Every structure is written in C-alpha cells, then in structure tokens.
Amino acid sequence: MVNAHDLLWGMTPAHVPADAPAWVLEALGAGQPVVVRRAIAQPGLVAVGVRGRLREQRFAAQMPLALVRRRVTPQALRGVTSPRDLPALRALAQLRPLLAQKDWGVSGSAGFELATGIEALHDASDLDLILHTPEPLERRDAGDLLAILDTAVCAVDLQLQTPFGAVALREWAGSSRRVLLKTASGAHLVIDPWQALI
C-alpha cells in the first residue's frame, strides 16, 4: 500500500499523455521518482505528481501500481544526511533528536533531494515534515510541538497525518474552530481531523 508523499520509481514517459510538457518527459526519462499525491485514482493506479526543476513545474498523473520498482517513504529519510549546507538541512539536523520518539518523516523538496541526490532545495526552502498521528493530538500539545519547530533555522511546515487525511500542525495549534483536512476527495473544513467525514 502506498501513501501520500511516498516516492515511487518506475514510471516512464510512455505513461503520461502525449501532450505532457517536455520537462515531464525529461524528468521521467531520467528515471526520476514521482510523488504520491492525495487524489482518487482508478483501480490498479495511484495518483502521483511529477516534479520539475522549477517550483511551478508540477504535473499530475496516474501511475500503474504494477510499474512500481522502488518505494521510499518519508519515514525512511529521517536519518539520511546531505553534504550540502542549507537552512532546511540544518533545521532537519537540529530537529532530528527532538522528534526521535515520534513517527515522523521528511517530505517536499528536502525529502526528494535526500532520496534522489538531485538538488531540489535552495537557501529559502522550507522544511516539509509529516507526523503520523493515528490517535488524536490535543491542540495544546500541538502548540507545544509547534513552539519546538519554530526554533528551527528555517520555516518548518509539518502535516499531521490522521487516519482520514492531513491537517497542518500550525492550523491545528491555532484558535480556529474548524481546520482544513486534506483528503483524497478534496479539502474539507472539519472540527475534528480524527473523525471520519460523514
């Protein structure tokens, strides 16, 4: 089973529409992985995104699960280091020991770079993390965790992965009664991200 933010290898240019941008064909032709995204896919397929070199280069597609040759989860990247000296990577090194007792992982540009060795981060990059929270996280505890993340040397965007979708830690730690829960069927304003949508 694959989950949002997993990186998958095996997709080729033959599996995107003929009118896909040239950079998509180039990325897939170079053997780059695709990232699993939250969307409903046809049976036997998984919704994925292709990353280009530029931030705005993102292409939505569906990958046959039978093509998957390798899968790397965000959790598998927790201990991976890089020789590059960038704020996001320094923040990751700073936060590793503080998150050691939690089920967390690295996603976004940092996850992509650590998994592939392809330079995707720059000096102004945020650090994207995910935290698996199968049980509800009290909002007060979310605030305490956010305070720790805000000591990092760059902006940290952490998503709480609940059984029903993902919610931004910063939003859950805030004062709004309803928060945005990202699910395969879209984004929904909810009071409790750990409750199934009716």
From the candidates 128, 141, 150, 192, give the one annotated as an active-site residue.
128
Rounded CA-CA distance 187/198 in Å is 14
Quick check: 184 and 36 in contact, CB under 8 A?
no
The yes-or-no answer on residue 128 being catalytic is: yes
Q: Cite the DSSP H helix spans in the chain.
A: 22-29, 87-95, 108-116, 139-149, 169-172
From the candidates 126, 144, 150, 157, give the one annotated as an active-site residue.
126
Burial of 77 (0-12, 13-18, 19+ CB in 10 A): buried
Whole-angstrom CA distances from 43 to 5, 8, 48, 70, 164 are 19, 17, 14, 20, 20
Q: In sequence order, what DSSP letters do the residues of 64-94 get, joined into one string?
A: EGGG--EEE-GGGGTT---S---HHHHHHHH
The yes-or-no answer on residue 85 being catalytic is: no
Residues 6+ apart with CB under 8 A from 58: 49, 50, 51, 52
| Phi, psi at 70, each rounded to 5° | -155, 145
- Please tell me the total number of residues recorded for the chain in this structure: 198
Annotated catalytic sites, by residue?
Answer: 126, 128
